[in-house]
Amino acid sequence: MAPKKKEAVAEVVETGPDEEEELGPGKVGISFAISGVRGLPCELETIVAFTGFCKENRSNPAAASAEPSGWELPKDKVIRLQNQDLYNDLVARPLTITLRDAGADNAVIGRTELDLLPLLHESREISTELELKLTEEYHARWWPTAEDDAPAKPAKGKDKKGATPTPEPPKTPLKPKFEGDAPPTTIIAVTISVEELVGPVEDRDCWTTMRLDVKGVFALPEQLSSLGVANPEDVSGHLLKYSGEVLGESLGDGVLTKAPEVPEDADEPEGMEEAEWRSRQERYKPFVGFSAGKTIRYRGRAFVEQLQEMLNKTGGVWLYFSPEEKGPPDPKKPSPPELVETVRTCTGKVWLDLRKLILPGEKHLDICAAIEPSPEVVQEAGEAGTLLGNARTYARLALELSMDVTPGEPEEYQIPLKTLLPVRTNCNKFTSSAGVATMYHEAVERTYRAVCSDCADGLQGGGVKEAVTQLKEVGSYDELKDSLRGAVVRVFRERLRKDTFAVPGKPLRGKARDEFIANTYAYLRQSASKVMDELRGEVLPQGGPATPAAEHGPDQPESGGRMKRPQEPPQGSKSPPVGAMVEEPAGPDAITASELSMVALLAESAAARNAREALGVATNESLRCSRLAYEAELVNAWDRAATLLQNRFLIEGLNLRKDPCEWVAFAKFCGRSRGRQAAAEEALRQAVQLMAEGAQADEEMAMEVDLFLACLLLDRGRHEEAIEVFQSWHEKDFANATFRFLLGLALFLRCRFEEAKPYLESVGKPREWFNGLPDQEAVVNKLRAFRGTDGPLDVAAYASILNKLLSFGLPSLVFTFLDQTQTLPKEALDSELLVLIDAKASGLDRDFHAAVARLEPLLSSGKASREAYRLAGESYLQLQDFDRALQNLQTALSVEHKFEDPAVYIRLGSVLLVKKRWKQAREAFLRSIQSQATAEAWSGVGYAEFRADELQTCYEALCEANVLDNDRADVWAQLSLVHLRMETWDAADHACRQCLSLEPDCEELLLEVASEYHRRERQPSLSEACARRALAIRDSGQGHSVLADVLAQAGQAERSVLEAQIALKLLADQPELRKAIFGKALKLCAELGDAPLTESLHAVQKLADEQHSSPGIR
């Protein structure tokens, strides 16, 4: 009987997404073309097939060849609807290209894939060469055998005579079909093209792909996972199905899935870390898996903008998890009665924190978060806890975006630190300017002596012009001029290099330039005068006037003192060498008349020079106090700011106490600082008295002082006095909105409500509205008559006056108008102008919760200005909600226009320091320094660089901060840390002592300094002083722990153990930290051999453990 033939297996044609037959509106045609294939191991009759992105499109066979080409496709173009499905397929489905062997039942020769993503927004044609990965069978053909050339094999089995055939000879390998160590790569050339870019036009510069991979829901409650499951190995009978949704995407059908592994030990170990516990849950427990698995979606501009807004406002989204009843497998057996209640209590949601995506470069998130049941279920469960909460059920998923959610920082904002810092190599301070000062002094002395010598015969006219002519005739003028000019230029360069207001790469302009030139000119003139005073002393009689030398620090040009080395006079000059002039004359009779006349020509009043010098010093000190007061106000150090501003009034020479403007500025500061209203009133009365005595002040200043004082009286409850002042101003200018507003507000606070209402209402009318109105009664009648037709009041007029009240530091008057007078409708009160004023007033009153509550509706509307975001960021910073502070400040600074106020960037830098984003914090502080150099900003740069282990730039930044303000304890503490790291011990000790002498309040830095000294085993007394000062600021467990280490190192073991016990009590909620402290203290007890102390230590640790396990025990 003949053997049966092997039946051919029907070939499966791969399916794909739906396609259209013809092109038309809303459709896209994607053309395919294959140029050819090269690098096949032998001649083959081939077919090309396209699959994956489209339905299988298989060509006709091409002629047998090792480099085939010329295939004909039944369709050279795939037509799809231009919709979201197409965009999703372009990002999720690569085009699969398969080469088949037509002579071997279309066996697969090789495959490759092509990503079509560029067709969306980047390119209309993808023309490339791809590596075709051969299957093992066809790859082996590069090594032919003798069998390939042998005749066909005989049929197996016995021959006709019944004899067994001879066995097949072994295959003999032949020479490979390639040269070298490896066969050549098989290449296929492909071209994919479209007529126009496929993606939506509005998404060209703003789109992304979203990859979502939901691993599952784990740690299911036993009551949930056991429903209908009799055997853990067979969970098909489970009575529930599950669904989920996140970011608008369904997770597909969720089913209970059996555990991937069976544990060797059924008992769960105790005391596992969270990560280990979750690992066991995912390996050994059933979980809910979703059919969607890994999904990739295209998302356009609308999604990206909504994502950015969500990250700015909420920082995350909810994943919703819902179990549903499938129905009993056997209709005769009803579902368990507890099924419905289990479904209700196990329905919940997962908060996915996506804030990490805000970080530049962050595109991937692995999220593991607990499922929260509904609030109703939580309330019903009470202290017993919910099923999901007790089981610690959680979901695990991964999210990845192809684009950076946070836009890149503009190039102009990327400020390298080195561009702002002067170049200093291997130096710890500014180099001395003594050399430059000496050169200038010598040039002045040389010029003076030359003039005295060359003009000794007298001058006709005795003026400067005649002296210059005489020097030119002698031939010394040009050399003297060049020498003096060169010295002056060097002084300018030296002072510019050390000017703290000069930013490298940024020219001085405006006021800064004028001050720099004026100060340098004053120095040059004063120095020249002192040199000439000393030289005149050589020829003046004894007992003549002498000018004391001014003291200069090591970092300023020195102007005092005689030139000690002799100088030769310029070539051509008649003056003798300097050494010849050092000898003093025998007496007044030895001085010639010509010499005395020349001395009189060049001399200047020593008293006048001293006065100018004192004025310059006083001006610099005044500017320093103002700048430091501004910085102190930035960090809410109101007492220090008040002290600095008061010190300005005591500076001799400026006479600021006679300037009304200074008193008004001080009164405004007192209003802002709160609690200093009495001082503000006294300052204003001082200004009034000065103006009454004839101090110079314009009419606007006089009016401001009068109104400010009256508003202050009104705020302090002295209504009648305020009304009298406002009434007098109102009578002078009947239509003035400011006077009408303040008078109306004063009448309202005096409980004269009906009388106040017309004044307040008429504020919103233009000045022309009052034309022809003789008195207030006429105003009331006109308001009543035209109230329905005049239209809404002008909110801007009210906002201007309210801002004036805020500048006075009187938020309570602003609250009175906005909250009590009912002058403006709700629509006006909800306008951005008044919302910002209300929030500023709350911030001035230190009620930042109220400020945030007022701003939130405006921010949620999406129409808020950058000032609203800035104000919200500052309020959240004061509330220590650093995440929201960062979001709002970054939004405020995202616009192109820069803030002129450096405080905004300092706030942002402070938040970034808390978030430990050192590089971004440094950039924020540097942008602040671009606007104005402050010690606060330089200190922030130093702190960020220290945390980033950039010690050199950290040291330079701290030096800049110290130059601007050497009374900052935190800067000295950081300098001590830097010197300890750099092992410059003396400098570290000096900085530490300076820090302690300034009564520091920087607890964390003090503890860090103490720890660093302890680690370096140096200066135990300083280390202990730092730790105790930190504990005086705040009694903390960490502080006692550091002090315990320091005392142990100093040999005070018993005191160290006692401090460790205090630390254990205060750190009850930090078991890991307690474990280390307890271990060190126990070792000390063993060394001491003190049993009672050891027992006491164990008791404290036990009590702390109990407090940690039962938080109610305290």
Q: For 592-623, how does the pLDDT look when each residue is reduced to its tens digit (9 = 90+)?
A: 444 444 444 444 445 555 555 666 666 778 88
Lowest-pLDDT choice from 310-319, 390-399, 652-661, 932-941:
652-661
Q: What is the pLDDT of residues 880-933, one digit of tens each?
A: 898 888 888 888 887 656 677 788 889 899 999 988 888 889 988 998 888 888
* C-alpha span between 134 and 129 (Å, rounded): 15
What pLDDT, on a 0 to 100 scale, did the predictor assign at position 783?
Answer: 84
The pLDDT of 65-79, averaged and rounded, is 88
Q: What is the pLDDT of residues 982-994, one digit of tens each?
A: 888 888 999 999 9
* C-alpha span between 137 and 109 (Å, rounded): 8
Q: Are 443 and 487 in contact (CB under 8 A)?
A: yes
pLDDT category at 1025 given cuts 50, 70, 90 is very high
pLDDT category at 577 given cuts 50, 70, 90 is very low
Q: Are 866 and 843 in contact (CB under 8 A)?
A: no
* C-alpha span between 717 and 726 (Å, rounded): 15
Q: Which residue would you say has higher pLDDT here, 1073 or 459?
A: 1073
Closest CA to 77 of 54, 100, 111, 47: 54
Helix (H, G, I), strand (E, B) or coil at 504: coil
* Token representation of residue 273: 């870390």
Q: What is the pLDDT of residues 698-741, one digit of tens each?
A: 888 888 899 999 999 998 888 999 999 999 998 888 889 899 99
Contact partners, residue 104, CB within 8 Å, separation at least 6: none
* C-alpha span between 641 and 634 (Å, rounded): 10
Q: What is the pLDDT of residues 495-519, one digit of tens each?
A: 887 776 666 667 777 777 888 888 8
Here the contacts of 1056-1064 (C-beta below 8 Å, separation 24 or greater) are 1056/1081, 1056/1084, 1057/1081, 1057/1084, 1057/1085, 1057/1088, 1057/1093, 1057/1097, 1060/1084, 1060/1097, 1061/1096, 1061/1097, 1061/1100, 1062/1037, 1063/1037, 1063/1038, 1064/1037, 1064/1097, 1064/1100, 1064/1101, 1064/1104
pLDDT category at 422 given cuts 50, 70, 90 is low
Q: What is the pLDDT of residues 81-131, one digit of tens each?
A: 999 989 999 998 899 999 999 888 889 999 999 999 999 999 999 999 999
The pLDDT of 320-343, averaged and rounded, is 78
| Mean predicted lDDT score pLDDT of the chain | 82
What pLDDT, on a 0 to 100 scale, did the predictor assign at position 146?
Answer: 53
What pLDDT, on a 0 to 100 scale, did the predictor assign at position 115?
Answer: 92
Helix (H, G, I), strand (E, B) or coil at 167: coil
Give the H/E segment covering residue 878: helix 866-878
The string of DSSP codes covering 9-52 is PPPPPP--S---SS--TTEEEEEEEEEEEE--SS-B-EEEEEES
Give the H/E segment covering residue 1051: none
**Within 13 Å, how many C-alpha atoms sit on residue 769's CB side?**
22
Closest CA to 549 of 563, 565, 569: 563
The pLDDT of 631-644, averaged and rounded, is 86
Helix (H, G, I), strand (E, B) or coil at 191: strand
What pLDDT, on a 0 to 100 scale, did the predictor assign at position 530?
Answer: 85
Residue type at position 190? V
The pLDDT of 994-1010, averaged and rounded, is 90
Please count the other Cβ atoms lying within 10 Å of the Cβ belonging to residue 260.
Answer: 11
Residue type at position 133? K
Q: Are 565 and 593 in contact (CB under 8 A)?
A: no
pLDDT score of 750 more than 60 = yes
Prediction pTM value? 0.52
Please count the other Cβ atoms lying within 10 Å of the Cβ belonging to residue 488.
Answer: 18
- The sign of the torsion formed by the CA atoms of 898, 901, 906, 907 equals negative
Give the H/E segment covering residue 685: helix 677-692
Q: Which residue would you say has higher pLDDT here, 525 or 564?
A: 525
Q: Are 750 and 720 in contact (CB under 8 A)?
A: yes
* Token representation of residue 762: 């008429």
Contact partners, residue 1069, CB within 8 Å, separation at least 6: 1107, 1108, 1111
pLDDT category at 573 given cuts 50, 70, 90 is very low
pLDDT category at 143 given cuts 50, 70, 90 is confident
What pLDDT, on a 0 to 100 scale, did the predictor assign at position 979?
Answer: 92
